[in-house]
Amino acid sequence: MRKKWALRAATLTIGAGAAPGLAVGTANAASLIQWDSTGQPVVCVQQAMNYLDNVGLSVDGRFGQNTCNAVYAYQGSKGIQQDGQVGPQTGGDIKADIYAVYLAAHHSGDWSTQSTMSSWTNSCNSRIPG
């Protein structure tokens, strides 16, 4: 009986410790964010495009023409197949780029940007594929 409770406690501790980190998993991520998608995953894509490419998207949670164009341009700049959709390849690159901005901000002492990227990661990393 003690072994069973010890195993449960260890599992809960490991799971709880992983949640707030920058490497949150993608268990709840949409498999594809594309034209006519709505909701928080789209908000995350729009914020990321604004942070990474300074495109000035309205963050409205609706994947329309402007969001599609921003994703298409981002894909082109990364050498990814340009389809205007956020799947595992594009989503993974977005996450990696956000993390790179976070690290650069951390090393330069730009606490505002570091905080913004950390907040984005904590709320969005699990909502985007990749």
User: pLDDT by residue for the chain (130 residues), tens digit each?
Assistant: 444 333 333 333 333 333 333 444 444 567 899 999 999 999 999 999 999 999 999 999 999 999 999 999 999 999 999 999 999 999 999 999 999 999 999 999 999 999 999 999 999 999 999 9
pLDDT at res. 7: 37
Global pTM reads: 0.78
pLDDT at res. 30: 73
pLDDT at res. 13: 32
pLDDT at res. 28: 56
CA atoms within 13 A on the CB side of 17: 6
Max Cα-Cα span within the chain: 58
Name the residue among 33, 16, 17 with its Cα closest to residue 85.
Answer: 33
